[in-house]
Structure 1
Amino acid sequence: MRPWNTFIEGDNLDVLRGLAEAGETFDLVYIDPPYNTGSAFSYSDDLRGADGRRKGRHEAWVAMMRPRLEAARAVMAPGSALYVSIDDNEVAYLRLLLDEVYGEANFLAQVVVNLNAKGRQLGKGFATSHEYLLVYALDARTCVLDASSPDLVDEADFRLVAEDGRRYRRLPLRNTNKKFNPVTAPTLHYPLWGDPVSGRVDVAPFEGAVEIKPVFGDGSPAVWRWSAPLVAARTEDLVCRQLLGRLGERIDVFQRDWLDVTGGEGTPRRKKLRTIWTAAEVGSTDTAVAELKSLVGHVFESPKPTGLLRRVLGTMPADARVLDFFAGSGTTGHAVALQNLADGGRRTCLSVNHAEPTRVGSNAERAGLATVAEITRARLRAVAETVGGGLEERDAAAR
């Protein structure tokens, strides 16, 4: 069985091109590229234009990113997706660049990620508390990304218990949006039959049943959310009850919305992800520092929390081949191991980082970690020892 984690030290552009030549493909690409804070980049790209003029700040950053994103696209498998972390300095330029490389039609989301709940208090202006995740598909028509999560489901919402022990909540079968009515959706305006004593609902009359038509609270005609064939196929998921409304007593039909969507087979219910992810949900920079410190020490200034990456991983299949070619402190590989351990998945992660020197006088240098690649390697080795899944270290030339 392949190890969960693999690490390659080398320039990510060279590595990506080598992976393409070798025919390797990946289902999920996540990167946290260098944010353009005005400092020089640690990559050896030529940052001068055709006229010899040195590129401007944004132009130079885009020039560094473009070939890497193009090379990443070449190793993405059918159905795959790309997530890119970025901040305000380059989010506008990155969005345009990704539209060029991946196509505007393949844009999926721009997620706001709250990694610093208190906000940055240094400097002038606003206390920035967020970054972004830009999400693109290789092909949105075939992408397998599932933008939902079981973690957002509140079991307390499902207070009712059926005869077989399953928990559920009641949702109106009537469409409560007045934009949908017998004029705009005529096929969904039809009578049902129900017995408020037994709760039974059907599309045809039966003994003890009364006719039930969808109406709004003011008595105006409404429509159902389900078609008649769907009602006929799922009558066990419906119940009718007598209610006291604004105009007096009436009988209405409700869907029994199950907590366990498989009917007792154990598959967790999922809820659509919002485009704002809070630190309470995915972790913060502080929790990320603590995670890294527990493994190899406080040797990286702004790592990403594993909770953020685990949410990203949760949108893709449990056997996804993951690539992170700006691996930084190794959060993605750590998250893959944690998620595999949690759900029995078979994900693999290839992390790529180059030998960028650590800052003179930094915690990393004092800990004997001369390059950022050594931080990545140290963390992934510690993950293999403490979480499991193994680690393969490959030579950049051999891919």
Structure 2
Amino acid sequence: MGAEPGAPWNTFAEGDNLEVVAGLPDASYDLVYLDPPYNTGNDFAYRDDFKGKRGAGAAGRHATWLAYLRPRIEAGHRVLADTGALFVSIDDHEVAHLRLLLDEVYGEANFLAQVVVNLNAKGRQLGKGFATSHEYLLVYAKDAARCVLDASSPHTVVEADFPLETDDGRRYRRLPLRNTNKKFNPLSSPTLHFPLWGDPETGRVAADPFAGGVEIKPVFGDGTPAVWRWSRPLIEERPDDLECRVVRGVRGDRVDVYQRDWRHPVGGRRKKLRTIWLAEEIGSTDTAVAELKDLVGHVFESPKPTGLLLRVLGTMPDDARVLDYFAGSGTTGHAVALANAADGGRRTCLSVNSAEPTRVGSNAERAGYATVSAVTRARLRAVAERVGGGFAELS
């Protein structure tokens, strides 16, 4: 996987995305990110209104949009590796229909998450109704059993999660060494039910008796027998990662054993990603507009922030082959370059966009970009100059 030495991080292909993806090899990408038209009727820079001819009213509009999107979703499924994952941005207009389409193409069993993405913290104040402040990110695996996606991040780990500190300044939190799941008990896991010895005054824990230590057996809060999460050999190997203390339970005070879960363990720490991503964490539409303006001018009203794509990229290996065939302003390629520059990764990205004319009178058209693909190309070239990693065009 990933870039060969000297290969560009970013490659761009201009053309109809269905035709371009049709020419790509099977299972050749590890991560596919898509930001398709939302079918809102708001044409800021390009067509986003599928009124169509397949029926009247909303039903016909949805059907036309699905007819357009289905072959493109199917094409992406073909080129996605068996260990890969798909992320698709969408809003309320089509999220229900898109979920059904993705369930059909990818399989319900391969659905991983529907993330709420807060891209407008203040909420949209124009129009009637609620001040919408979010959209969605639908996540699917090609094969959930083989998918390498890691739904966690080192960037969501915060100091407040580890409120305790040792004398030498290491921060940690206490986790019960007892397995709190009642499915695991002396009958189901007999080798994990054994006594330990601990001194609540010093905190010392050992697998064998010692002076000042009291015997401690794993029990649930109601006093019924439980089991430890660690085996006896692991406890003997890592006694300094355990501590003993008196706790108050429903049956009175008792002595129990806790794991010291360190803020900075060997190999680093990651925290599971929640299914609500806040603008303060991943950026907003406003910050995305500013990022794009800094590179090529104020040309799109609703680009995606690189922080959103950096979080997506962080769930996959650092040599992932990335494909975005609704590339828009080129945020995905920009994020790939930023990620590689930050961690030394070898990610590559193929961005695909059509030569569809920009809307007359739009910011993009007034800035001299005759086509949407011209914006994508200009941004990725600017990224290569500023961040590095090179740029190439797929012929």
TM-score, normalised to structure 1, is 0.87
Name the CA distance, whole Å, in 2 between partners of 1:332 and 1:370: 22
Farther off after superposition, 192-201 or 323-332: 192-201
The corresponding residue for 2:38 is 35
Structure 1 position 12, deviation (Å): 0.3
What SS is found at the alignment partner of 2:349? strand
Q: Which amino acid aligns with 1:112?
A: V
Residue among 180, 195, 208 paired with 1:204: 208
The corresponding residue for 1:364 is 364
Q: Does 1:345 align with 2:349?
A: no
Name the CA distance, whole Å, in 1 between partners of 2:99 and 2:252: 54
Structure 1 position 259, deviation (Å): 1.6
What SS is found at the alignment partner of 2:73? helix
What SS is found at the alignment partner of 2:245? strand
CA contact (8 A) 2:172 2:261 kept: yes
The corresponding residue for 1:283 is 283
Farther off after superposition, 175-184 or 323-332: 175-184
Structure 1 position 227, deviation (Å): 4.7
Structure 1 position 234, deviation (Å): 3.6
Distance 1:25 1:274, change over 3 A: same
Structure 1 position 196, deviation (Å): 3.2
Structure 1 position 246, deviation (Å): 6.9
Distance 1:219 1:140, change over 3 A: closer
Residue among 64, 75, 97 paired with 2:79: 75
Name the CA distance, whole Å, in 2 between partners of 1:237 and 1:372: 56
CA contact (8 A) 2:27 2:78 kept: no
What SS is found at the alignment partner of 1:74? helix
The corresponding residue for 1:16 is 21
Q: Which amino acid aligns with 1:78?
A: D
CA contact (8 A) 1:38 1:57 kept: no
Unpaired runs of at least 5, structure 2: 1-5
Farther off after superposition, 82-91 or 228-237: 228-237
Q: Which amino acid aligns with 2:61?
A: R
Q: Does 1:142 align with 2:119?
A: no
1:56-105 superposed Cα distances (whole Å, 9 cap, x missing partner): 11111111111111111111123100000001111111111111111111
CA contact (8 A) 2:27 2:82 kept: no
The corresponding residue for 2:173 is 169
CA contact (8 A) 2:247 2:254 kept: yes
Structure 1 position 201, deviation (Å): 1.9
CA contact (8 A) 1:26 1:76 kept: yes
The corresponding residue for 1:107 is 111
Structure 1 position 118, deviation (Å): 1.1
Pairwise mapping of residues 216-227 of structure 1 onto structure 2 (< 5 A)? Answer: 223-227=227-231
Residue among 126, 132, 135 paired with 2:130: 126
What SS is found at the alignment partner of 1:56? helix
Structure 1 position 190, deviation (Å): 3.8
The corresponding residue for 1:311 is 311
Distance 1:346 1:148, change over 3 A: same
Distance 1:218 1:25, change over 3 A: closer
Structure 1 position 364, deviation (Å): 1.0
Q: Does 1:7 align with 2:12?
A: yes
Q: Which amino acid aligns with 2:376?
A: T
TM-score, normalised to structure 2, is 0.88
What SS is found at the alignment partner of 1:19? coil
Farther off after superposition, 77-86 or 159-168: 159-168
Name the CA distance, whole Å, in 1 between partners of 2:144 and 2:185: 32
Farther off after superposition, 181-190 or 109-118: 181-190
Distance 1:230 1:48, change over 3 A: farther
CA contact (8 A) 2:323 2:350 kept: yes
1:186-224 superposed Cα distances (whole Å, 9 cap, x missing partner): 765542212334433233334442101234567665554
The corresponding residue for 1:151 is 155
Farther off after superposition, 82-91 or 182-191: 182-191
Q: What's the % identity of the aligned pairs?
A: 74
CA RMSD in angstroms comes to: 2.8
CA contact (8 A) 2:87 2:139 kept: yes
Structure 1 position 284, deviation (Å): 0.7
Name the CA distance, whole Å, in 1 between partners of 2:133 and 2:47: 26
Aligned residues: 384
Pairwise mapping of residues 207-356 of structure 1 onto structure 2 (< 5 A)? Answer: 207-215=211-219, 223-228=227-232, 230-243=234-247, 249-262=253-266, 267-356=267-356
Name the CA distance, whole Å, in 2 between partners of 1:109 and 1:157: 24
Unpaired runs of at least 5, structure 1: none
What SS is found at the alignment partner of 2:24? helix
Name the CA distance, whole Å, in 2 between partners of 1:164 and 1:340: 35
Name the CA distance, whole Å, in 1 between partners of 2:88 and 2:161: 34
